[in-house]
Amino acid sequence: AQLRSHMLRSLFKLARYVNPSSWFRNESPLTLRELPGHLGLDIGGTLAKLVVATHDTPDGVAQLAALGPGSRCFPQLSFDAVGASPYQRRNQRRPSAGVQRRAADAGRSVLDHLFHTESSHATLQLRFVSVGTAGLEQAVRKLRSQFALEDMRQVREIVTAGGGGHKFAAMFREVLRVQLVPFKELQAVVDGLLFLSQFGPEDELYCQDDACYAWPETLFPFVLVNMGSGVSVLRVDGPQHFTRIGGTSVGGATFLGLSRALTGVGDFRELMRLAARGDASAIDKSVGDIYGAAGCTDLGMPHDLTAASFAKLSGADGELPAPASAP
């Protein structure tokens, strides 16, 4: 749910429709000018995310959005948002009163804005693409050295969350004739989550121990943890009422940076494969290592719960475990 919310955050303004006849012109960031429908961007410190929303999405439309080296499509995240039907069905199942009704109205107004109608039952298809922010910047700079688009006078506006909406605005307008319209990031995270609560898949919220959980009957208040390059923690009391109550600089970029420094591997999927072969108990101290079996029973805590990460590496007599090697 969080990843979709993160990627949906800038869907709340309309992007200009462009003729799809030129889709195949160039598998590069130029596709931002040429994809049909409504586009939303989030250009963060580590990843850039694109959502393509259309009424009738031809097969492979998301694959055409090759934003730069290493672009990935996420078909498992794709879903169809149906105009009024899910709204009516979910509100029959979960009546909204007070702030609950405002949440439903927030999700409703977003979909109405995209459908251009207050009562549409049409289907809006949402597809997702991501690429490393550094790769996207590199691809745009390469285009600037290879192409001249002075003849393309029409500028396409794309609402963009994240720091890249400000940092790359001038370059995108010059090279791609794309105007990045900055959108407040935390507001967009909340709006995207409320959109998903009304129109996302039924099992969207989360899964734990192979069990899927539905959205709660009472949504507000809740704590929202937004994990990106860093982490922000929000208390949300309503669609327009939220406060950032904390955060940490230790986020996704921390994992990628430390992993590259320790292993020389910078690809996330490869790092996940290596991690699956590792043994955290060789370097982390668990509650059982500190309290013993009897102490864990007295505490009522599992013995394998991590108490201190990397703690076993701090002992003077401890041997460093052999690192896993790439296959």
Q: In the predicted model, is pLDDT for residue 149 greater than 50? A: yes
Residue 27 bears catalytic tag: no
Burial of 100 (0-12, 13-18, 19+ CB in 10 A): middle
For residues 68-76, average pLDDT: 81
Residue 133: Cβ-neighbour burial (10 angstroms; 0-12, 13-18, 19+): buried
- Rounded to the nearest 5°, which phi and psi values hold at 176? -105, -10
For position 161, what pLDDT does the model report? 94
pLDDT level of residue 286 (50, 70, 90 thresholds): very high
Please state the rounded mean pLDDT for residues 167-193: 92
Which listed residue (27, 118, 150, 185) is catalytic? 185
pLDDT, averaged across the chain? 76
Q: Name the pLDDT band for 322 (thresholds 50, 70, 90).
A: low
Q: Which residues lie below 8 Å from residue 237, measured CB to CB, with a gap of 6+?
A: 99, 220, 221
The answer to whether residue 158 scores a pLDDT higher than 80 is: yes
**Using an 8 Å Cβ cutoff, are 103 and 194 in contact?**
yes
Q: What per-residue confidence (pLDDT) applies to 61? A: 53
Cβ burial 37-60 (10 Å sphere, 16+ → b, else e):
bbbbbbbbbbbbbbbbbbeebeee
Q: Where does the pLDDT of residue 12 fall: very low under 50, low under 70, confident under 90, or very high at 90 and above?
A: very low
pLDDT tens sequence across 74-128: 888 888 887 644 444 444 334 344 444 544 555 455 555 555 544 445 678 888 8
Neighbours of 93 (CB within 10 A): 11
